[in-house]
Structure 1
Amino acid sequence: MPEKTFNRIKIMIVETGRSNNWLAKELGVSITTVSKWCTNTMQPTIESLFEIAAALDVDVRELLVSTKKHS
């Protein structure tokens, strides 16, 4: 069974009570761009990750999936 891919941006949008539309307006990007980020169709740039984190008022590390396996 393939490992399930989670999208931290989408999770943080939901956890902060925001929406894709809100984030798109906040960042001055299209809703299509945010949708692509949330479905892993396209990845944001590093600069965009910092802008997303600032808009959502979260640490940028919360938008990333750890590459280390926890034991």
Structure 2
Amino acid sequence: MEERINRVKEILVIQGKSQKWLAEMLQISTTAMTAICNNRSQPHLKDLRRIAEILDVDVRELLVPSKS
């Protein structure tokens, strides 16, 4: 089981937006976006900031906290 690091998929669901839409906004492939949403790969920090801007959330909301 992969470690859950980002919450991009959760935020998209909450906002009613699709992975395809976000991929288009970031100008990346839907395959790359799916890998990010499924935590198979992680976006670079600068891309994470762009995702936060596009989704209008604090970048910290996109990450799973490391401590409870």
Q: TM-score, normalised by structure 2?
A: 0.88
Q: TM-score, normalised by structure 1?
A: 0.85
Alignment match, 1:12:
11
CA RMSD of aligned residues (A): 1.8
Structure 2 CA distance for partners of 1:8 and 1:20, relative to 1, 3 Å = same
Q: Give the total of aligned pairs.
A: 67
Calculate percent identity across the aligned residue pairs: 45
Gaps of 5+ in 1: none
Q: Which of structure 1's runs of 4+ aligned residues deviate more than 4 A?
A: none
State yes or no: 1:34 paired with 2:33. Answer: yes
Gaps of 5+ in 2: none
What is the CA-CA distance between 1:58 and the residue it aligns to? Answer: 0.8
Question: Which structure has the bigger radius of gyration?
Answer: 1
Supply the distance in 2 between the matched residues of 1:49 and 1:38 (Cα, whole angstroms). 12
